[in-house]
Amino acid sequence: MNRIVRPVSGILLRRLALASIIANVGIVVTGGAVRLTASGLGCPTWPRCTDDSYVTTPEMGIYGVIEFGNRLLTFAVGLIALATVLAVLVHRPRRPGLLALAVAVFLGIPAQAVIGGITVLTNLNPWVVGLHFLASMAVIAAAYALWRRIVDPDGPVVAVVPAPLRTLARITTGVSVAVLVIGTWVTGSGPHAGDHGAARNGLDPESISQVHADAVFLLIGLTVALIFAFRAVGAQRATRAAVILLVVELSQGLIGFVQYFTHVPALLVGAHMLGSCLVLLATLAVQWSTRERRPVTPAPRATPAEEATPVPTPA
């Protein structure tokens, strides 16, 4: 007897997509904990933890436990992504665009894990470590896009602000991404290498930190401009999104300045990594707020009189 697969509800689909966002942010934070506790080489090889074992051993101590624990969390994040893919497949009615985004998130997780393995095999090369972080940001962006696609209706996309403001929002998004990229360069020049013997990228920490700060000031200025511009055209939802982005940016900037002038304490660095994820999500929220999807308008049904009217046939 064939088993009947019940369709997944829209509420469950939204919750799975949101859980995927939270899980991918969480793996960034726990990955930061690995680096900040100097546990980056707690498992000195990959994909095994040691040459003879896939799991940590008592001889490896707390560093091995921390690194191996972070590797296990990758499987949990992957399972959530897989559950989301399966939920999209059985959801009825089928919705356009969901499967491609869900698969992108799912495939991004093993790709990010492979880059993490390369960081171990290269003895925590700071450029590869930075790429590892940016790969996580890309997965988070894909997970956010999936969640928004699930929340939004399936109708046509309609712009809610003029074209120049949509361009300004895209420029702000580009600068936000640049801030994240430069932030990895700052991290690669700083003291938290992930292991006491790991190399640094050779950039001057003070100079690259100044470049990073300048990019942040530019981002804040663009965000303030967006707030006033959105208010001027009466785009309330976009204005709220831009205000939230500004608050996140100012909070993140404050953490960054405090950590710089207090010689980069590990706890503040961890908070700064979480803040980076929140900046990305708030930036994407602004980008999405410049347009909206309208509900699908059902085709008008014929009246009884129209249905009773015979359709003439060509001679």
Q: Show the DSSP H helices in 37-162 as ranges.
A: 61-90, 98-121, 126-151
Radius of gyration for the alpha carbons in the chain, expressed in angstroms and rounded: 24
pLDDT at 58: 75
pLDDT at 117: 87
Of 273, 285, 291, the C-alpha closest to 141 is 285
pLDDT at 7: 58
Helices (H) and strands (E) in the chain, counts: 9, 2
pLDDT at 48: 77
CA atoms within 13 A on the CB side of 293: 13
pLDDT at 257: 83
Cβ atoms 153, 86 nearer than 8 A: no
pLDDT at 250: 95
Of 74, 3, 214, 234, the C-alpha closest to 222 is 214
Structural domain spans, the chain: 8-154, 155-294
| Tens digit of each residue's pLDDT, the chain (315 residues) | 444 445 567 788 999 999 999 999 999 988 877 777 777 677 777 777 777 777 877 767 787 777 878 888 889 999 999 999 999 998 888 888 899 999 999 999 999 889 988 988 888 888 998 999 999 999 999 999 999 999 988 888 899 999 999 999 999 999 999 999 999 999 888 776 555 667 788 888 889 989 999 999 999 999 999 999 999 999 999 999 999 999 999 999 899 888 878 877 778 888 888 999 999 999 999 999 999 887 766 555 655 555 555 555 554
Cβ atoms 229, 166 nearer than 8 A: no
Cβ atoms 208, 183 nearer than 8 A: no
Of 279, 314, 210, the C-alpha closest to 25 is 279
Three-state SS at 294:
coil
Of 223, 230, 215, 142, the C-alpha closest to 180 is 215
- DSSP one-letter string for 190-210: SS--SSTT-------HHHHHH
pLDDT at 297: 65
Q: How far apart are CA 97 and CA 267, in angstroms?
A: 39
Q: How far apart are CA 110 and CA 118, in angstroms?
A: 12
Q: How far apart are CA 268 and CA 277, in angstroms?
A: 14
With b for 16 or more beta-carbon neighbours within 10 A and e for fewer, the 155-182 pattern comes to: eeeeebbeeebbebbeebbebbbebbeb
Q: Other C-beta atoms within 10 Å of 117: how many?
A: 17
pLDDT at 229: 97
pLDDT at 301: 60
Q: How far apart are CA 67 and CA 56, in angstroms?
A: 9
Q: How far apart are CA 315 and CA 93, in angstroms?
A: 41
